[in-house]
Every structure is written in C-alpha cells, then in structure tokens.
Amino acid sequence: MSRRVLVLPLVVVVAALTGSTLTAQPRARRGAAAPAPVPLFEVHEKSIAELQAAQTEGLVTSRQLVQSYLARIAAYDQAGPALNAVVLLNPKALEEADALDRERATRGPRGPLHGIPILVKDNYDTAGMPTSGGSLGLALLQPTADAFQVQKLRAAGAVILGKTTMHELAAGITTVSSLTAQTRNPYDLMRVPGGSSGGTGAAVAASFAAAGMGSDTCGSIRIPAANQNLLGLRATRGLSSRTGVMPLSDTQDVAGPLARTVTDLALVLDATVGPDPQDAVTAGAAAHVPRSYRDGFAGATLKGARVGVLRALFGTAPEDDEVGAIIRKALDAMKAQGAEVVEATVPGLDDLLAESSVIADEFKFDLAAYLARHPGAPVKTLGEILDRGLNHDALEQTFRLRNQPTVRESEHYRQALVKRRALRAAVDAVLEGQKLDVLVYPTLRRKPALIGEAQIGTTCQLSATTGLPALSMPAGFTADGLPIGIELLGPAFSEPALLARAYAWEQAMSPRRAPFSTPPLVNGAAPAPVVRLLTLGTPAAAGGAAEASLRLTWDLTTGALRYTATTTATDTLALAVHRMDGARVGPIVALLLMRGQPSAQGSLTLRGRDREDMAAGRLVARLYTARAPLGSAPVPLGPAAP
C-alpha cells in the first residue's frame, strides 16, 4: 500500500495528536512537570446533532473536533488497519475551525453544521487543496475555486477536513487508483469498500468525519453506503449541482452525501441542494427543496407504505442467495412495521437497461472540457494520461475503450438516450399505476468483493438511467459480518418521503453497527494489542501430565492474532483451537501445534464470526497428546478485554 505525504504541517499533526493548541505557551521551569495534554473529545459514532449540542453546551470547540478526527485518521488511515481512505488533509482546517469558534462566541452558530468537520471526495474542486480524481496524472491539479456544494458547506459553517480516496477518475466500484492504490473496507480489511466514493464511505464508517461527500454516476454513492452500513442518496437529477465536480458523464453524474444516520444525511442535504446558475439541470430545483428534509421525520412510519419489490434486480444465481435472503428478511421486517409489500414488474426492464449507460459515450469529452477550464492542469485529456502511463493497470482496458469514441453524438449514444426516456416512462407508469411509494431491491446482489477481484451484482443503472432518486440504507449483515444495503427508488423529487421512510426504518431497526477496525481511541491512540498468557494441561490420570503454554497478542484494529505456543509433551498430536457450540466443544478452526512439534509461532487473521467468538470467549484451546488423545480441558482464548 502506498504511503502519501499529507499536506498538513507537522506542527498541526502534533497538535492534533496531543490535543494541544498552537498558541504560544510559557516555557516550563527546569524540572517542572509538563502539563498534561487536553483529552480528546470522543467523536466515535457521534451524530452531527450530538456534536452540535456539545459545542452549544461548551463541552467542545470546533478546533477540538478537528483535532479528534485528525487523531483518528492518524491512528487508523495509514497505521493500524491502514484503511487508506484519506488522500490529503486541509492545511487550514484548524485555522478555519478557530474562526468558526470565534464566530460562535460573538454571533452564534450559522446552523446545524457550524463547526462540523466534513470530508469530500477528491473529485470535488477545493481552492485550498489539489483535486486529483484519483489520478497520478492530476495529483497537482489545483482549482482556483471550490465546487458549488463545497461553497454551500462552507457557507453553512462546516469545516472541510480533507479529501478522500476514490476509484480512479470515478471509473469503477472497488476504489483503486494510480494515486492512492487500494482502499480497504473497515468491516473486513481483505475486502473492497465499494466505489467510486469508497474513500468517503470507509472514512465516514470509521468516524474520520461527521459525514462525507461523494458522487454517483452508477452506484458510486450507494454502493459504498451499502458496503459500510451507511446511508447514501443519489438524488433526483437536477436537485443538486455538479459544478466543480470532475465529471464522468454529464448525463448521469449526481453529487451528494453519505452519512451514518438519516438525520445526518438530511442535514447535509439541507445545506447542499438547490439551484446553481452554472449547472443548467438545477434550474427548477428550488421548487422541490423543502424547508428542511427533517420536517417529515416527526411521526414517520412505514405503516401504510406501498413497497414494490423489483424481483428482476435480485438475481437468480446461487451466489446471489446470501444477499437475497437478507433483503427478504428486511422486507418481512417492513411488513411487520405495517408496510404493504407487493410484487412489482417493469415491462421490458432488462432490454431497456441494456446499453442505456452513456458513460462510455461522454467520459473522454466531459473530462477534456473540465480540464480545459483548469489552465494549470498537468494533462489535458484521457488520451494523454494513457500515453504517459499515468493510470493504474486495473483501469487500462476501461480507459482505452472509453478513449475510442471520436464523436459524442454516435448512433449508440442516440439509442441510449431513447432507451433512457422509455425506461423513465415505464418506471413512472409502474409507480403511478400500482400507487407505489417506492421500488425496492438490493443495492448489490453480492457482498463486498475481496481485494483484487471484480465486484459483481450491481443494480446501479436503474436510478442512473431514469434520473429518479434512490436511497441505499442498511438492511443487515452477512454471517461473516459484512454490511448489506437495500435500495429504495421513488418518484422524481420524492427525497423527503424516501428519507422519512428510511428514518422510520432506522428508528425501528437500529441497523447501524460500527466497524471493528476503528474503535474509540484510548488516550488519543488506537487501543493497544491485548496480550494473554494461557496454560493448558492434560490430566495425570491420562498416563502422565503434559503442559502447553500459549502467548496471544490480539490487535483489535486488524484482527491479527499472533501466537507463540510451546509444550512439554514429547508425544504431541495437536494444540487446537475450537469453536464452542453452546456448552459443547465444537469443531477445530485452527491448529497452533501439530504432531511432534514442541513449539511454534505464527499469526491468524480473525474475521467476522471469529472476532465475535474470540471476544465472547467462544474460541478455546485444547492440547492433544498420544497419552491424552481426547484432549485437555478447553481454555478460552478470550474475552479480548477484562
């Protein structure tokens, strides 16, 4: 994994990690005890409302919030689990937070986002930081102005904490790039976070900021939301501006937030939606923006909602069954809450979706137009990036195919636009004809892919083709602890109703579960590995007692369990780890010593169920010898902490 220099002065990093300020301090007398560092405010899993209330009550300042999030990034982004979710940090974040603190003291807060740290995807223009789009060729591209939505966030009082990693030029859903290599999923470090807004998804899930901004051309907000147990909204085309967001496809691009709660998502939407004179598709947005997207939350319920299940997007392969079962269970829960769940069919759906994407038709032309607006851009075209070898190998074939069109208005492009209009009409007819509030289907038909493998099972194109709003919300977890998302698609500009339904679901189900790899900090740092010393013994009645000693070191942030095992036995058969099945010793899950071995050391990676069983004391060790072939009494490896 690549290591990158964050554009944050060292003194700022030190201040963030110690909780100290950057103001001059009187020099301590020789021999005097150094002042204790100010404890960091706990931001892990905190909502925007909680952070705002803490500022109002004087429990924390915006500066201290910035410091707390910087400490988490330092502990977990390139260290520990090494999520690799942050490209760079805002060198003026503390300065901007200080200004907001002064403003709060003299004039009061601007609103709910005053002093709240937010991260933005690295395809949003930022005047004080480069905008790379995940491309090494654009690493030094420095915009002169903020993207429209970034301007609106700053106007609302948010602190732009930094930029997040993304799939190179937004052209994929696993988040790998020539500038930042691979980003990891905080729920399973061997799996992808989704994409292309994978860095934002991983960072928000890991509490690196209160919320984050992404973009969605075909699933790039919704897929990372699903893979990280988050909320992600692809809004109706024309509700939010794309000005200053590096394009993938003007026809399909949408920019917007990801958050840990529905309320947080609504607060960021409140600040960022609306008309932008520079983005023509937003001309009518003002007529569809409510006073607040939170207004519909009071009394929100699923009772009486008509939910149309779009089975055509569930998939029929055996590999789709695991996710399908979780979605079906979620639908049963919706029924239990009073929703009317019915089957829905869009006539000709497969044919209308096929070849309806216009990304390949528009990408090279839209990117070149964007780069032309930045005179200092290091490269000017997709072709130049390819000619100079400034792209990741994983994108080589995709980029070469997308660099082939010689004209934008091809026959394929014209036919795709016809299909898009036809599919929009067909979906509108189903929603209206069956009086449906939403259509539902899995955000992905498969769980997050292993790093290096392709992500299969996306259903992203329905919203991207129709321009209708789609919200991904948490549906549940797989047996191995991976989040799964369910997508709700509604009529044009039905965001208030979608959010209200999601809020009712959230209140009833409490689906949010923090990732294992980024727990609360301890004294400003990641929790120290847990060390356990165990002794196992076979009974003397078995023909001679034998002992084994086991030293375990468990890193809670990576799941790595390092062990050193030794035994006095000369007739060792095995030192085995079992999983308990209630009161019964269950099957063997690992061997630490094998036949004839007096000692061994190594490492296991505990994933999903294994981590939970370790913490609960359900993983046990037993020593087996020729004189005690049925094993010693089981000794729990955990719990991980007292």
Which residues are part of the catalytic machinery? 121, 196, 220
Using the 8-state DSSP alphabet, how is residue 210 labeled?
Answer: S
Euclidean distance between CA atoms 340 and 195, whole angstroms: 32
Contact 244, 148 (CB under 8 A): yes
Q: Which two tokens stand for residue 126?
A: 């930022």
Coil vs helix vs strand at 568:
coil
Task: Mention every residue, 6+ apart, whose C-beta is less than 8 A from residue 595.
Answer: 572, 573, 574
Q: Given its phi and psi angles, is residue 504 left (phi above 0), alpha (psi -120 to 50 degrees) or beta?
A: alpha
Q: Which two tokens stand for residue 281?
A: 């598709």
Task: Mention every residue, 6+ apart, whose C-beta is less than 8 A from residue 155.
Answer: 110, 271
Using the 8-state DSSP alphabet, how is residue 185 labeled?
Answer: B
Beta bridge partners of 551: 533, 564
Q: Which two tokens stand for residue 597?
A: 């071995």
Euclidean distance between CA atoms 259 and 112, whole angstroms: 15
**What backbone torsions phi and psi does residue 591 show, to the nearest 5 degrees?**
-115, 125
In 3D, which of 104, 105, 124, 127 has the Cα closest to residue 114? 104
Euclidean distance between CA atoms 598 and 588, whole angstroms: 20
In 3D, which of 222, 268, 216 has the Cα closest to residue 237? 216
- Using a 10 angstrom Cβ sphere, with 0-12 exposed, 13-18 middle and 19 or more buried, the burial of residue 95 is middle
Contact 455, 448 (CB under 8 A): yes
One-character DSSP codes across 602-638? EEEE--THHHHHHHTT-EEEEEEESSSTT----EE--
Using the 8-state DSSP alphabet, how is residue 71 labeled?
Answer: H
In 3D, which of 611, 524, 618, 541 has the Cα closest to residue 16? 524
- 3-state SS of 160-180 is EEEEECCCHHHCCCCCEECCC
Contact 426, 384 (CB under 8 A): no
Cα maximum dimension of the chain: 87
User: Going by DSSP bridges, is the β-strand pair 306-309/340-343 parallel, antiparallel, or unpaired?
Assistant: parallel
Q: Which two tokens stand for residue 474?
A: 């948490």
Euclidean distance between CA atoms 333 and 508, whole angstroms: 9
Euclidean distance between CA atoms 356 and 365, whole angstroms: 18
